[in-house]
Structure 1
Amino acid sequence: MLSYPATIPLSNRTLNHLAERIRGHRQQRKSRWRRLTPGRQALLALAHLRNGDTYTRLAAGFEIGVATAWRYVQEAIALLSAAAEDLDTAMRRIRQLAYTILDGTLIPIDRVADQKPYYSGKHKRHGVNVQVIADAAGRLVRASAALPG
């Protein structure tokens, strides 16, 4: 388990994987000094992704600004999505499996300026819909882009 002011049910391997991606990205861009180390930035992003902590809460916990917290999380998400398989590769992998699990979930969001497309009548709240394909053991094979409502 990793911890910051709350517990995150993820392994150290997950944290180290993301931290290495961030470290490599910073070296590639020849990035100057940053407020958080790659490990702390990875922890910040994982706390947001796994626990859904708000940027305000993360900023207070990691002693950074809200805009910096947002920028660090967005950078980590971009690095993770760049490493993901494309749809064709995922479909070839799926064909080799005995069976797969397809499911969707609504991820709650704050209201946006153009609210109507993001409102889910079924769940009676605003959110984005993500479709997920998993193997028989429940390991993620592919996740779709976030779609309105």
Structure 2
Amino acid sequence: MVPTVLRHDPRLAHIGGGQGVAASTVRRWVLEVIALPAARARRLGQVSNRPARSGASVVLVDGTLIRTRRRTRRANRANYSGKHKQHGLVVLGVTDETGRLMWVSAVLPGRTADITASRRLRLRERVHTHGLSPAGIRGCHS
């Protein structure tokens, strides 16, 4: 059930209902499976060391909106991106100078702008500690 939920994003009551499993149980299973790779993910400080050691001076920062289904009530407003006119979640990615993905942030509400997300995550300060400069988001550079 968990791979189906992660791949197709069906309603939890529908996916569990056919097997006699409550939606809350399916939600708990999904969260447990997501927590496993998240716990092993490298932190930004760890991945910033690699380009700094190789002599790089810049990392590229960019955000994207991952489309999601429309939520209900208040959650609906937080996940609506006025820029894209869609519901979704925002993630920021950090790449080295060649474009190789080094780090991806946790998801933020869809209404969050890239620059706001970078400020909230303190990307500039965290990357500067390793002698690198972020590029790609206006206002995030040094």
TM-score between the two structures when normalised by the length of structure 1: 0.53
- Correspondent of 1:64 among 17, 21, 26: 21
Q: Give, in whole Å, the separation in 2 of the partners of 1:97 and 1:131.
A: 23
Larger relative contact order, structure 1 or 2 (CA cutoff 8 Å, min sep 6): 2
When the two chains are superposed, the root-mean-square deviation of aligned CA atoms in Å is 3.2
Q: Deviations over 1:105-148 (max 9, x none)?
A: 3331423525433221122233221123457686x532211111
| Match of residue 27 from structure 1 | none
| Match of residue 9 from structure 2 | 52
* Counterpart AA for 1:116: R
* Counterpart AA for 2:9: G
Correspondences of 1:29-48 after superposition (within 5 Å):
44-48=1-5
- Correspondent of 1:104 among 55, 60, 64: 64
Match of 1:79, SS state, is helix
In the alignment, is residue 81 of structure 1 matched against residue 38 of structure 2? Answer: yes
| Match of residue 132 from structure 2 | none
Match of 1:69, SS state, is helix
* Counterpart AA for 1:145: A
Greater shift after overlay, 82-91 or 50-59? Answer: 50-59
Q: Give, in whole Å, the separation in 2 of the partners of 1:91 and 1:144.
A: 14
How many Å apart are 1:46 and its aligned residue?
3.1
How many Å apart are 1:73 and its aligned residue?
0.3
Asked if 2 retains the 8 angstrom alpha-carbon contact of 1:59 and 1:65, the reply is: yes
Q: Give, in whole Å, the separation in 2 of the partners of 1:103 and 1:94.
A: 20
In the alignment, is residue 132 of structure 1 matched against residue 93 of structure 2? Answer: yes
Distance 1:76 1:122, change over 3 A: same
The count of corresponding residues between Structure 1 and Structure 2 is: 105
Whose Rg is larger?
2
Q: Deviations over 1:36-55 (max 9, x none)?
A: xxxxxxxx333323333332
| Match of residue 84 from structure 2 | 123
Distance 1:87 1:64, change over 3 A: same
Gaps of 5+ in 2: 111-142
How many Å apart are 1:83 and its aligned residue?
0.8
The structure with more helix, counted as a fraction of residues: 1
